[in-house]
Amino acid sequence: MRLYAGVAGAALVIALVAAQCVSRPDPPAETGPFRRSPVAIGAVAGSADAFVDSIGVNTHLRYSDTSYGEFPLVKQRLLELGIRHIRDEVTRDTPDVYARLNDLSRSGIRSTLVMGRPEYGGKKNPYGSLDQLYQVFVDELLDTAVAVEGPNEMDLSDVGGWASKTSSYQKRLYARMSKSGSTRDLLVLAPSIGRYEDRSRYIQMGNLVSATDIGNLHLYPGGVMLTTDRLNESLEHGALVAGNAAVHITETGYHQSPSATDQPEGHPATTPAEAGVLMPRILAEAFRGGVDRTFIYELVDQYNDPRTAESNFGLLTWDFRPKPAFTSVKNLLSIVSDRTARGAPAGAPAPGLDIRTSSGDVRTLVLQKADGTLLLLVWREVPPSPTLACADSSPAGSVAVTVAAASGFGVARTYRPSCSAEPLREAAVTGELTVSATADITVIELVRQP
């Protein structure tokens, strides 16, 4: 279902979506939680805190022979990044991994954990049975997790009858989680599909609404920008399995090694600079499109191996140096963060913004802080420009966007997360504002008068 559409050559007013908290319902899954829906034109999409909470990153804490073996650095960079969620997996006989997940949980970083798979293509299952994994989860990991997840990308395995086996496993997982009072309130995500662009694979998996709380998408843009149309197509595919359930994108990102000899089909490399522009756009596009959580793949490059695409998806290099995407996501979270609002009652929604432009490729997201501050994220759905300079107020390739807000705002601050977490400009609000929209996200912070 398309939630957003631009009309070229005409004034564009963009409808935004309302954030919704999700918790596992007591009745059957068909009753919710549901995907967020559009609200009135110009309305606030949700709280700034909800947006921050929507962002996570994949880790592989079990891979001790990779960069993930350096757990102190993993933890340090996760805290520096400012995310609250990681995605990992449950394994047997790995007490060091349990300790790390619990350590992160005590630091405010909670987990979504994949709970095994039905078969390993004739090989011995290294993780154990579902009952064994469930017992590990209850005994060691219960306090670390906000959700568990069904089998990961079984369609890419060499397991015969993968679809029916995945479906059966998911139903057993859901029933097992529902039986115990200690786990029945945890959300259960649907299984993921590896060939996410292939609608037929979702059809093969079948309808799992009765065994799913949250839909699950893997969505790699393939070396280019994520468009609104591409997101909506993926949401339609996911609904074939999870119905109208709320949605998490549990893997998305860019590999950044043009010299890789194993370039995945349909997924060429991006440069690190391009990923630094495109990654925050994925997070904003997903949230405004109704996705409740998006996990970047992945935190750190697993090896120092530029010949292998799989080793170069990280926000950090193998030796934990930040890439541009790490910096831009960290800056975006710092700008938007509203931690004083966590656990506080939601304030009354602010009056919406009137957003006008003659360009059909402008995308926006409006967020509200607890004190009434509004944050407008604006960008163009165009490829990144290699010449975009942070100092330019009206760079080449930009289009004008006019913003009108209700009275009561005193200061407007302009940020570019790919450049800095500090404002590039600050001015008094005296009427309508004109913003230059580019391929890079610009954030306009409208602060209420004292």
Q: What is the Cα–Cα distance from 363 to 316, expressed in whole angstroms?
A: 28
Whole-angstrom distance between the N-terminal and C-terminal Cα of the chain?
Answer: 42
- Record the tokens describing residue 150, joined without a space: 């069904």
Amino acid at 239: A
Question: What pLDDT sits at residue 153?
Answer: 96
In Å, what is the CA distance from 319 to each residue of 5, 256, 398? Answer: 42, 15, 36
Question: What pLDDT sits at residue 181?
Answer: 85
Candidates 401, 421, 422, 413; CA nearest to 445 is 413
Is the Cβ–Cβ distance between 362 and 378 less than 8 Å?
yes
Cβ partners under 8 Å of residue 425, min gap 6:
393, 413, 414
Q: How many CB atoms lie within 10 A of CB 200?
A: 11
- What's the whole-model pTM score? 0.90
Residue recorded with tokens 């694979």: 201
Candidates 331, 310, 408; CA nearest to 368 is 408
Compute the chain's Rg from CA coordinates.
22
Question: What pLDDT sits at residue 77?
Answer: 98
Domains of the chain with bracketed CATH: 28-36+47-341 (3.20.20.80)
Candidates 262, 347, 357, 355; CA nearest to 313 is 262
Residue recorded with tokens 């908290």: 21
Candidates 254, 250, 274, 186; CA nearest to 57 is 250
Question: What pLDDT sits at residue 2?
Answer: 20
**β-pair type (85-89, 362-368):** unpaired
Question: What pLDDT sits at residue 441?
Answer: 95
Question: What pLDDT sits at residue 320?
Answer: 98
Amino acid at 291: V
Q: What is the Cα–Cα distance from 421 to 414, expressed in whole angstroms?
A: 10
Candidates 132, 94, 99, 55; CA nearest to 315 is 55
Amino acid at 228: T
- pLDDT 10s digit of each residue in the chain, 450 long? 222 222 223 333 333 333 333 333 343 344 457 887 655 445 688 899 999 999 999 999 999 999 999 999 999 999 999 999 999 999 999 999 999 999 999 999 999 999 999 987 666 677 789 999 999 999 999 999 999 999 999 999 989 999 999 999 999 999 999 988 899 999 999 999 999 999 999 999 999 999 999 999 999 998 899 999 999 999 999 999 999 999 999 999 999 988 888 877 778 899 999 999 999 999 999 999 999 999 999 999 999 999 888 999 999 999 999 999 999 999 999 999 996 655 554 555 566 788 999 899 999 999 999 999 999 999 999 999 766 667 666 676 789 999 988 788 999 999 999 999 999 999 999 889 999 999 999 999 999 888
Question: What pLDDT sits at residue 349?
Answer: 57
